[in-house]
Structure 1
Amino acid sequence: MDRNRCSACAIVVAMPMLAGCAGSGMSTLAPAGAEAEAVAHLFWIMVAGAGVVWVAVFGIALYAALRPGPRDRRTGRWLILGGGVIVPTVVLGALLVYGLLLMPQLREPAEPEGPYIAVSGEQWWWRVRYVGFGAEGGDDAVTLANEIRLPVGARVRLLLDSPDVIHSFWIPSLAGKVDMIPGRTTTLVLEPTRTGVFRGACAEYCGTAHAHTRTCASWRW
């Protein structure tokens, strides 16, 4: 009972902290992009799956503790097998398959002829270069620092690289993390679904000023 009370207290204490993330523009549970919405949906499905496993195990433990009279070993073995092996295996296996099937959809490339943004992870800031966003879709490019502006409802490719060390580009409200590796170009497709200002950060320790490597994504076009 003491452990259950401690767990309940921990959850109650953590809830205000999670709620605070939603107001910072850096919450994966307040999605503003197509990929972030899929990730948030997967998260809640995983929470439900974990709840099923927890209810099964807790129910068996409660049954074993409150059941009067002598205990049948055969019944005990079946309870352990069902609640401790079968239910977790089925639930976690289903979650794994669902997550693996979801991953290719999150990395579908944008149209190759569309505009793209080249983001380079510097020490310690983001070099943002717009390519093909001219009035007539020309090759003119605009370079900014730590700020990305995109149209709502459009899929835009981000080409990510780094000239020095490994960074990890992450805007939680819009999409998942993608590493920026020296000598290699990685791709991230963003599709904002609502307007707002959403903050991001480097999720890979990249040096002494790592905490200052932040970005701001704004969707107002």
Structure 2
Amino acid sequence: MFVFPAKAMFNRVLPKLKIYANAKPSKKVKAMFISQVNEIVWKYKLAAGTINLAPRDGYNEIQVFEISLKVPDLGMEVLSVIDKAIPYPIFFRLRHDDRLKRVAAYKRPAADGTNNWVTEAYFETEWEKATDPITPLPVSLDIKALYEQMLFTLIDLPPRPGETLPALVERVGLIRKHSRELQTLEAKMNKEKQFNRKVELNAQVRNIQTRIQELQ
């Protein structure tokens, strides 16, 4: 877990109704908020005035939310709705009993000139004990660089030499896509009775496995 400057503390409860008003979630997702989320606290605002880093390329602030959970498993739809409601990059600290988990999506300003944000893949850590050691924020030249350094710590796949964060996120997305395809093909192959068809599926499985290995 990162330790944040005291000056950046915001520490305000964010009512669920405000999120509903901004993001208009479905009844199903509202039910998830009710059954899974105890409280949402807007813990920190990392901005020029609180951490003395300049904005860059539309990255003006980074928000840190702490969500106390009623259950250990939180549906990603909940985080997606919060990201939709708040037009800033957000790092979530999920808390359940004495454990913490960090989650964040790769979030970037829209390229259409509006104030909208595009939310892409989510990344998360394993559950950690709340008493585990905390680490200082990465040394960065501006807010965008800080955001990228923070997000890198959530991605299991190490970046290749010179690989940018967007390129790494794209590579992880391809691995996830091919992994889903592989799972589907393996299930089909295991159920297939016809020998020739089974051979064809096995060849497709090997092809996708090779693609995944090349991306890793």
TM-score, structure 2 as length reference: 0.26
Which has the larger Rg? 1
